[in-house]
Structure 1
Amino acid sequence: MSPVLRRVGVNAGWLMAGRGFQAVLSIAYLAIATRTLGLVDFGKFTLVVAVGQAISALVGFQTWQFVVRYGSQALAAQDERALARVVGVAAVLDFAAAALGCLIALGVIVLATRWVGLPDDLRLPAFGFCAAMLIAVRSTPTGVLRLDQRFRDAAVADAALPAVRTLGALAAALWLPSVAGLLWAWAAAELVTAAVTWRTAMKHRRLSLAPADLKRFVREEPGFWRFVLMTNLSSTLTMTAKQFTLILIGAFSGPAAAGLFRVAAQLAQALAKATQTFSRAAYSELVEASSTGSDRALLRQLTLVAGIAAAAMVGIAALLGEPLLHLIATRQFSGAYWPVVILVGAAGLDLVGFAFEPAMTARGQTSAAFWLRLVSTGALVALLVLLLPRFGVVGGAWATFGGSLAALLLTGWGVFRQPSASARAHPSPSQAPV
């Protein structure tokens, strides 16, 4: 095994430990939520969460990628002041996006209550959850932890979210067994996790918020706006497409169908935590490999390992999906088995191609990555329009599978078709083609 692949494996191991802990707790709080609310109210709860996550994805920046990409240059030069400027710019972007998102949430919550049939008395807790999720930004500190290769600390910080959610779900079940109670519990979990992540990340780093430092960075790195905007657009398509599917199911088929799809998606996500884990662990190595022109070999190794893991993941879902459903949910959710298997298959495709888009971003090909993601998202929307009215929840699952397949084929073509940016000119972040 190559040293680079070994480092990715070690880093992913720490993240996987955290993700495994999160997966177990996510099943626990999902069981509490479904049994407390029942199918219809759980559907209402999941629709509010989907709206909040969609707004967060729409306005948020992938500043963790920005910190890793630009911060690696400062680390290589041993320039702590430059690194503080990078972290400061990332933090400003995060909180500016959060403020904008809160304004958007005010209007969206009112529209959503009418569009998907949510009652008016959920407006305040729904906005409270959305605001908490937006304010609790942790992309910048996540980037700092990735940059410093502190994956063990990142795993510990990430564990706060499912832990507080589980405790909050228990408290809500005992004292406020309602959609509003769970929304307030989820809001508290977001805020606590953000506080833990920022404290952990900034223990050994500092950030500069001085206007002169921020202006200096923008002046010295004129290409950074294109980088952050293109990575934001690409991630927005990825994240909002997932929430859009759930919201569409709620609009077409009602909260009960949305709740059924959410249970299936949550179980699939619990079985597929590896996708984000490997992606985040590999990104810093891909940035370094891109600078030496060796990223193609690393990509082949990572894809082979991911393919084996994906096949195992789908097999586990087929065998254990039904017992897990019976364990965590009531008989009302028994129709979620096939959506679970199909969605795990979609997550398996995501896992096989997990390194493709990060590799394009590491090379500076953010524009190409965005356009490929846009086409695959278009395929998802077309499949939703075609399959959702006729097949309901199962149709939504197959549409998700088709969107993942399109993304895998397109990004795979894009990453192996193009020679790496480093092989051409070893560009700096500001010079890399986008």
Structure 2
Amino acid sequence: MIRRALTNTGWLMGARGVNAVLSLIYLAMATRALGVQGFGTFVIIFTFAQLIVGFTSFQTWQAIIRWGQGEEGRRSATGYALALDTLTIVTGTLVAGLVLGFAGEWLPIPRGLRWESFWFTLAYLLAIRSTPTGLLRLHDRYGRGAIADSTMSIVRVAGAGLLILTAPTIEGFLLVWAVAELATAGMYWLLAARTEAIFWQRFSLTRLPQAEPDAWRFVAGTSLTAMLSISSRQLLVLLVGTFGGAAMAGIYRVAAQLGEGLLRLAQALLRAVYPELVRNPKQARLLAARITRIAMLTGAATVALAWLGGEWLIRAIAGETYLSAWWPMLILSAAAAMELAGASLEALLVARGRAITNFVLRGVPTVAALCALPWLVGHYGATGAALAVLGSSVLSVSGFILANRRAAA
């Protein structure tokens, strides 16, 4: 069981490793081509799209794994997931249109770029790929998922290179990023369809809940938790832009891109471990404990590397202008190390059906961090925003430890 979980994590991290290298290339292109102010504006628009998706989307891949073990259950779970994804697209489009159309100057997106921001957000909504991701993971086809994930970075690098040779503008980078998202989603659907027929005829929001009374509760818990985990970080970037301006938002984004590599590893670990915990509940605690120990060592080593080589990395990729991102990067790497250590414990809570508990343990620290953000940014700039993330991660992971101990008692 642990070997399969680590193998699946390896596939996920193989793709993320390729993406990490390529992301440094397109990050260097974007930061240098757009400048601090232009890159900050691009980051704010990009973050707004991610925020809308995070607030309105459901973790349908977890529902497919939970109820898709048998063929009949898989058909109903797939139809339910497809209906939820459609609900996300409709809701997200309406919310994005209303916010961009009626928000005042407090929204740090220039009015001249709000139409472009709307179409960019719509592309991100259409590129939701949670359902095909769930189908691939249900069949342990992590290799195919790795191929699909690599599509995004390849398209971004190619498009950014083309822009630099022609006319590097904010609108041009938005177009490239949108095409990359849609291409990645298309690849996911293609590979999922090759793995198993997609049961479009079971499209329904009611069929699965009739058979599984806790379906809505489970989906609400997992989706709210993901919303907090993803959206809070995007909301944080927007608030940094609101309180500190576009340039500070760009600096913080560089710090996050370089410092949160372990967070992506934590997310990959959670996604790889969760199916094994569902399939083998009797051995779940042992598996989670072993992977947590491995994660703690990995996290400590990575934070040490960030301390030793972070400044050189920022200078090499983004240039001298972004050197103030070093301290935020170091703090964010420490926060990501905490998330990595807690990833298997979080997955264990969800596998035990404690999705709402998980949400509360994420929600309370996140709200506290966001409430403290204006003061932290006002006094410490981008470093203050990173401290808010670190504090939230420490409190959440501590809660996972206590909740799992109580559940096991």
Taking structure 2 as the reference length, what is the TM-score of the superposition? 0.96
Structure 2 residue 299 is the aligned partner of structure 1 residue 302:
no
Q: How does 1:107-186 map to 2 (within 5 A)?
A: 107-110=98-101, 114-186=105-177
Between 175-184 and 111-120, the greater mean CA deviation after superposition: 111-120
What is the CA distance between 1:83 and its match in structure 2?
Answer: 1.3
CA distance in 2, matches of 1:396, 1:372: 20
Q: Distance in 2 between matches of 1:368 and 1:270?
A: 27
* Structure 1 segment 355-434 matched on structure 2, within 5 A: 355-419=344-408
AA in 1 matched with 2:51: A
Closer, same or farther: CA 384–375 of 1 in aligned 2, 3 Å: same
Task: Please state how far the C-alpha of 1:214 moved relative to its aligned partner.
Answer: 6.2
Match of 2:198 among 207, 210, 227: 207
What secondary structure is seen at the aligned counterpart in 1 of 2:18? helix
Structure-2 separation of matches of 1:212 and 1:184: 31
Greater shift, 98-107 or 371-380, is seen at 371-380
Deviation, structure 1 residue 161: 1.0
Give ranges in structure 1 of 5+ residues lacking alignment. Answer: 75-79, 421-434
**Please, which moves more after superposition, 352-361 or 102-111?**
102-111
Structure 1: distance between partners of 2:203 and 2:376? 54
Instruction: Supply the distance in 1 between the matched residues of 2:160 and 2:203 (Cα, whole angstroms).
Output: 45
State percent identity of aligned pairs.
38
Q: Which residue of 1 aligns with 2:85?
A: 94
Matches within 5 A, 1:39-50: 39-50=36-47
State whether structure 2 residue 66 is matched by structure 1 residue 66. no
Distance 2:103 2:139 in 1: 41
Q: How many Å separate the matches in 1 of 2:192 and 2:201?
A: 20
Write the letter of the residue equivalent to 1:236: M
Structure 1: how far apart are the matches of 2:207 and 2:243?
A: 50
- Which secondary structure state, in structure 2, belongs to the residue aligned with residue 418 of structure 1? helix
Offset at residue 146 of structure 1 (A): 1.0
Amino acid at match of 2:94: L
Q: Partners in 2 of 1:216 and 1:236 — Cα distance?
A: 25
- Give the AA of the match of 2:366: T
Contact between 2:270 and 2:346, CA under 8 Å: does it hold in 1?
A: no
1:238-270 Cα offsets, whole Å, 9 max, x none, are 111101111111001100000000000011134
1:252 to 243, 250, 256: 243
* Partners of 1:272 and 1:313 within 8 A in 2: no
Deviations for 1:301-328, whole angstroms, at most 9, x for unmatched residues? 1110110110011011112211111111
Give the CA deviation at 1:341: 0.7
1:264 and 1:343 in contact (8 A); partners too: yes
Alpha-carbon distance between aligned partners in 2 of 1:193 and 1:392, rounded to the nearest angstrom? 35
Once residues 113 and 168 of structure 1 are traced to their aligned partners in structure 2, the CA distance between those partners, rounded to angstroms, is 32
User: Is 1:273 aligned to 2:264, yes or no?
Assistant: yes
Decide whether aligned partners of structure 1 residues 278 and 141 sit closer, same or farther in structure 2, where only a CA change above 3 A counts.
Answer: same
Alignment of 1:192-231 (within 5 A): 192-210=183-201, 215-231=206-222
Tell me how far 1:184 sits from its aligned partner: 0.8
Distance 1:152 1:171 in 2: 29
Aligned AA for 1:393?
A
Amino acid at match of 1:374: G
The CA deviation at 1:159 is: 0.6
Task: Provide the rounded CA distance (Å) in 1 between the counterparts of 2:191 and 2:245.
Answer: 41
Map Cα deviations across residues 149-201 of structure 1 (whole Å, 9 max, x no partner): 11111111111111111112122222331111111111101100000001111
**Could you tell me how far 1:116 is from its partner in structure 2?**
4.0
Aligned 8 A contact 1:116 1:255 in 2: no
- Structure 1 residues 171 and 366 mapped into 2: Cα distance closer, same or farther (>3 Å)? same
Query: Does residue 1:337 correspond to 2:326, yes or no?
Result: yes
Amino acid of the residue matched to residue 355 of structure 2? Answer: T
Gaps spanning 5+ residues in structure 2: where? none
1:38 aligns with 2:38: no
Counterpart-to-counterpart distance in 2, 1:103 and 1:70: 30
Q: Does residue 55 of structure 1 match 2:83?
A: no
Q: 2:303 aligns with which of 314, 337, 346?
A: 314
Find the aligned partners of 2:2 and 2:182 in 1 and give their Cα distance. Answer: 35
Question: Counterparts of 1:27 and 1:113 in 2: how far apart (Å)?
Answer: 34
C-alpha displacement at 1:215, in angstroms? Answer: 4.4
> Which residue of the partner structure matches residue 242 of structure 1?
233
1:113 is displaced (CA, Å) by 7.0
Q: Distance in 2 between matches of 1:40 and 1:152?
A: 39
Whether the 8 Å contact between 1:89 and 1:209 is mirrored in structure 2 is no
Shift of 1:51: 0.8
Contact 2:277 2:351 in 1 (8 A): yes
SS of structure 1 residue aligned to 2:197? coil
Task: Judge conservation of contact 2:261–2:336 (CA < 8 Å) in 1.
Answer: no
Separation in 2 of the partners of 1:273 and 1:215? 33
**8 Å contact from structure 2 (residues 2, 287) kept in 1:** yes
More deviation in 12-21 or 272-281? 272-281
Q: What is the rounded CA distance, in whole Å, between the counterparts of 1:187 and 1:131 in structure 2?
A: 9
Contact residue 29 and residue 160 of structure 2 kept, 8 A:
yes
Determine if contact 2:244/2:377 at 8 Å carries over to the other structure: no
Q: Which residue of 2 aligns with 1:103?
A: 94
Per-residue CA deviations over 1:84-121 (Å, capped at 9, x if unaligned) read: 22112111111221121011111222456722443222
Give me the whole-angstrom Cα distance separating, in 1, the residues matched to 2:397 and 2:181. Answer: 31
Give the total of aligned pairs. 409
Q: Which amino acid aligns with 2:145?
A: A
- Which residue of structure 2 lines up, in the alignment, with residue 233 of structure 1? 224
